[in-house]
Amino acid sequence: MNLFVSGGAGFIGSNLVNEILKYRKIKKIVIYDNFSSGKKWFLKKSKKIKIIKADLKDEKKLNSAIKKTDLVYHFAANPDIAAAVKNPDIDFVEGTILLRNVLEAMRKNKIKKIIFASGSGVYGDKKKKSLVEDKTITNPISTYGASKLYCENLIASYSNLVGIAGISFRFANVSGDNCTHGVCYDFVRKLFKNKNKINILGNGKQSKSYLHVSDVVSALIKAKNLKFSNHQVYNLSTRDFISVNEILTLALKAFKIKKIEKKYTGGSRGWRGDVPIVRINDNKFRKFGWYNKNSSKETIIKTIKFLITNKKNYRF
Ligand SMILES: NC(=O)c1ccc[n+]([C@@H]2O[C@H](COP(=O)([O-])OP(=O)(O)OC[C@H]3O[C@@H](n4cnc5c(N)ncnc54)[C@H](O)[C@@H]3O)[C@@H](O)[C@H]2O)c1
């Protein structure tokens, strides 16, 4: 089986590649990445891997790189939800268009299967309501969420029009080895700079599920063996949650900091477009036998440890 992984040098993509290359059935993995946030040091060395440094907006390069692929994993997108506050076009250009280009390249090359990294942002702000794929109405409150929802619908349309079948995962927050953004990354970066004072986005009470990237990878690998028909959507989460304040306490413990001045930016949201409370129901995917091995708290502890251990690589 030959894989094409867009954004394969990024956080989730690199974890998938490093794990899936161990499978004998996987013969070749093409990583297509412009390295805007991806890193070479995230990736294991393997003869199975071919890295193409290019942008998905370059359709000519994309068309030639994707040839002879059996399955596409599509991760490339703007990872920074808050970036749209200053640049509202970013998720259209670095999200929607990228997926459109991938689908067109698939159509031209008769590639029939795609697994897409969507996100719980498609639901919008539903407070403590449990989010269920086929029941909860989707009302994104960020261009990031809107782009993910459009992308899901584009895959559904392509499945109907040209027979490309897809699976979209609506992930909770993902954390773990190789992460380059998110609350753990933010706190560790700030604490290396200043151990006396820290800025916290929002009021610290935002509470969400944090899924360890190894658990995401096990779901992504399981998904490749499922029967692909039209377009299927699955939530993916832990069954617990943790607040930003609790995450800060874990970070301070890891740094052995007893006293620090905390400065909150205020408001219930970390930034405009942030969904402060997220409760995801992922029973639908669990029916295939998948479960998360790490709780939200374990995920946070492991992520902080990884970031501190790899301080030099991250250039903190
Ligand atoms: N990390 C999370 O918590 C989370 C949660 C839900 C969904 N997702 C989605 O999962 C996917 C992967 O997220 P991640 O956290 O690994 O982010 P990431 O930024 O680490 O990975 C994205 C990769 O895509 C590459 N890329 C970006 N724009 C590109 C372009 N125009 N052409 C080619 N390559 C490009 C980047 O260099 C990077 O390697 C994204 O689509 C993200 O929206 C992530």
Cα of 196 from ligand 1 centre, angstroms: 32
pTM of the model: 0.98
The CATH number assigned to the domain with range 2-174+211-236 reads 3.40.50.720
Where exactly does CATH 3.90.25.10 map onto the chain? 176-208+241-274+294-314
Q: Which helix H or strand E contains 30, and what residues bound it?
A: strand 28-33
Across all residues in the chain, what is the average pLDDT?
97
**By the 8 A CB rule, do 304 and 184 touch?**
yes
Residue 133 sits at φ, ψ, to 5 deg, of -45, -55
Where exactly does CATH 3.40.50.720 map onto the chain? 2-174+211-236
Cα of 6 from ligand 1 centre, angstroms: 9
pLDDT tens for residues 169-201? 999 999 999 999 999 999 999 999 999 999 999
Q: Which helix H or strand E contains 167, and what residues bound it?
A: strand 165-171
Query: What value does the mean pLDDT take over residues 84-105?
Result: 97
Q: Which helix H or strand E contains 234, and what residues bound it?
A: strand 231-236
- Neighbouring C-beta atoms of residue 209, cutoff 10 Å: 25
pLDDT tens for residues 136-154? 999 999 999 999 999 999 9
**By the 8 A CB rule, do 228 and 113 touch?**
yes
- Measured at the alpha carbon of residue 187, what is the angle toward residues 269 and 179, in degrees to the nearest 5? 95
pLDDT tens for residues 196-244? 999 999 999 999 999 999 999 999 999 999 999 999 999 999 999 999 9
Handedness of CA 189, 31, 171, 145 (dihedral sign): positive
Task: Report whether CATH 3.90.25.10 matches the domain 176-208+241-274+294-314.
Answer: yes
**What whole-number distance in Å separates Cα of residue 186 and Cα of residue 169?**
25
Query: What value does the mean pLDDT take over residues 48-70?
Result: 98
- Which atom of ligand 1 lies at the shortest distance from residue 118's CA? 7
Cα of 37 from ligand 1 centre, angstroms: 8
pLDDT tens for residues 73-94? 999 999 998 999 999 999 999 9
**By the 8 A CB rule, do 268 and 218 touch?**
no
Q: Which residues line ligand 1 (CB under 6 A)?
A: 7, 9-13, 33-38, 55-57, 75-77, 79, 94, 98, 117, 119, 171, 173-174, 180, 182
pLDDT tens for residues 247-300? 999 999 999 999 999 999 999 999 988 999 999 999 999 999 999 999 999 999
Residues 6 or more apart from 194 whose CB is under 8 A from it? none
**What whole-number distance in Å separates Cα of residue 212 and Cα of residue 140?**
24
pLDDT at 311: 97
